[in-house]
Amino acid sequence: MSLPLFPKYGELIPELKLEIWRQASLSPGVHYFHVKTRIDNLGGHVRRIEITPSGQVDSDPSVWRVRANIANIDKHSSDVTKKLLEGPSAKELWRPKRGKNPSAVIDCDNDVVCIRFHGPIYNPLIGRFVDFDKLSGIKRVAVEYKKNWTHDVPSYRTLIDPMFHCLCVNLVHKVTCPKTVADFIQYFPDIEVFYFMVKLTSPNIKPPPPAPRGKKRNRQGVVKKEGDQQPEPAPAESRTRTKAAQVISETFTKLRDIAERNKLETFEDKVNTYCEAREADTTCLTMHDEIWEVFGELKDLWRLIKLIKTKVPSPYQLREPELKVLVYTELHKR
């Protein structure tokens, strides 16, 4: 990023300059990382992991890249980002092997870390996992919810395993395997919140309910008002795109307003705005039932594990973070 952002920047009072950098540093923010597993040859369990950024500079919207860029612009930008990059809750998740590129530093207290996990998920506390320090400190962990997790057979067409590939023996789940989700959570010693993240796209949003009696929808699906002029019909393809964009925008605006009113969590990255959506508010999503069923089964599983633990002392501590849903889109806040 280069100075000046706008020509009058130099004339601003320091408080305004600081405010500009506070806004630009996107806190609380969202970061994306790949986590690749290395399997132990002896026991067949995950022994080590490798964390790498998800994508390159242009394709990765992670906030650590934005903050690293603005940190060196001037004294004010450096003052604001220092707290996020060097404060007690800062954690370096990745460092480039060579060159001058910045390290990936996150703010553990406030940021969300979205994990793209590659490899089978075993309970790391039962295997001989030795890399807990790499993931320690992270309090908010997210994964992108994918509908195809319900199918336990890997897709041979793409040769990509679903992230929560079920390893249970003689057990078929209706939804994503709760055991695998529980085991995934165990990789994060300090996890406080686990999120399923859903991008608002046309396939992820349920179609709107039928128009109220006596009212008609126009071609964009909007209920006509008295005296409305029928707009010029657009070409079919662009009409579909316009309608899709409108539905996404309306859905997100509604969820964001609810989040604001109820002081729910919101986050940002370079291109997206994220907001927490409660169970009562995610009914507009096509995967609503699936997601809350997985969460329900996960809580049942935790109850069962604790019940067993009272009879047989378990060698490990069970991590039970809060379970939440984050919806996001490229639309920006007001």
| Smallest gap from residue 286 Cβ to Zn ion (A) | 23
Which token pair is 189?
């010693």
Enumerate residues 44-73 that contact Zn ion by CB under 5 A.
none
DSSP single-letter state for residue 132: H
Which token pair is 108?
């553990």
Q: At 85, is the secondary structure helix, strand, or coil?
A: helix
| Smallest gap from residue 23 Cβ to Zn ion (A) | 44
| Smallest gap from residue 180 Cβ to Zn ion (A) | 6
Q: Which residues partner with 265 through β-bridges?
A: none
What angle do the packed helices 14-24 and 63-71 form, to 10 degrees? Answer: 150
Q: Kindly give the residue spans of alpha helices, DSSP state H, lying in the chain.
A: 14-24, 63-71, 75-86, 132-135, 178-185, 236-261, 288-311
| Smallest gap from residue 236 Cβ to Zn ion (A) | 44
Q: In this complex, which beta carbon is closest to Zn ion, that of residue 35 or of residue 177? A: 177
In the chain, count of helices (H) and strands (E)? 7, 10
Q: Cβ contacts of residue 283 below 8 Å, gap of 6+?
A: 206
The piece of 41-49, 98-106, 169-177, 292-300 that touches Zn ion (CB under 5 A) is 169-177
Long-range contacts of 143-147 (CB under 8 A, 24+ apart): 143/114, 143/115, 143/116, 143/117, 143/184, 143/195, 143/196, 143/197, 144/114, 144/116, 144/196, 144/197, 144/198, 144/199, 145/196, 145/197, 145/198, 145/287, 145/291, 147/286, 147/287, 147/290
| Smallest gap from residue 151 Cβ to Zn ion (A) | 12
| Smallest gap from residue 31 Cβ to Zn ion (A) | 28
Q: In this complex, which beta carbon is closest to Zn ion, that of residue 42 or of residue 153? A: 153
| Smallest gap from residue 105 Cβ to Zn ion (A) | 35
The piece of 155-163, 168-176, 202-210, 319-327 that touches Zn ion (CB under 5 A) is 168-176
Q: In this complex, which beta carbon is closest to Zn ion, that of residue 79 or of residue 293? A: 293
CB atoms within 10 A of CB 216: 8
The piece of 55-63, 134-142, 167-175, 242-250 that touches Zn ion (CB under 5 A) is 167-175
| Smallest gap from residue 182 Cβ to Zn ion (A) | 10
The piece of 8-16, 98-106, 165-173, 246-254 that touches Zn ion (CB under 5 A) is 165-173
Q: Cβ contacts of residue 13 below 8 Å, gap of 6+?
A: none
The piece of 18-26, 141-149, 161-169, 187-195 that touches Zn ion (CB under 5 A) is 161-169
Q: Of the candidates 1, 16, 57, 168, which one interacts with Zn ion according to CB under 5 A?
A: 168
Q: In this complex, which beta carbon is closest to Zn ion, that of residue 113 or of residue 166? A: 166
Q: In this complex, which beta carbon is closest to Zn ion, that of residue 61 or of residue 178? A: 178
Interface mask (CB under 5 A) for Zn ion, residues 225-244, using x and -? --------------------
Enumerate residues 171-210 that contact Zn ion by CB under 5 A.
177, 179
Q: Of the candidates 26, 166, 275, 327, which one interacts with Zn ion according to CB under 5 A?
A: 166
Using CA atoms, how far apart are residues 143 and 198, in angstroms rounded to an integer? 9
| Smallest gap from residue 178 Cβ to Zn ion (A) | 7
Q: In this complex, which beta carbon is closest to Zn ion, that of residue 92 or of residue 300? A: 300
DSSP single-letter state for residue 331: P
Element housing 267 (H / E): strand 266-268
Q: In this complex, which beta carbon is closest to Zn ion, that of residue 140 or of residue 179? A: 179
Q: In this complex, which beta carbon is closest to Zn ion, that of residue 111 or of residue 297? A: 297
Q: Cβ contacts of residue 333 below 8 Å, gap of 6+?
A: 256, 266, 268, 273
Which token pair is 69?
């860029």
Q: Which residues bind Zn ion (CB under 5 A)?
A: 166, 168, 177, 179
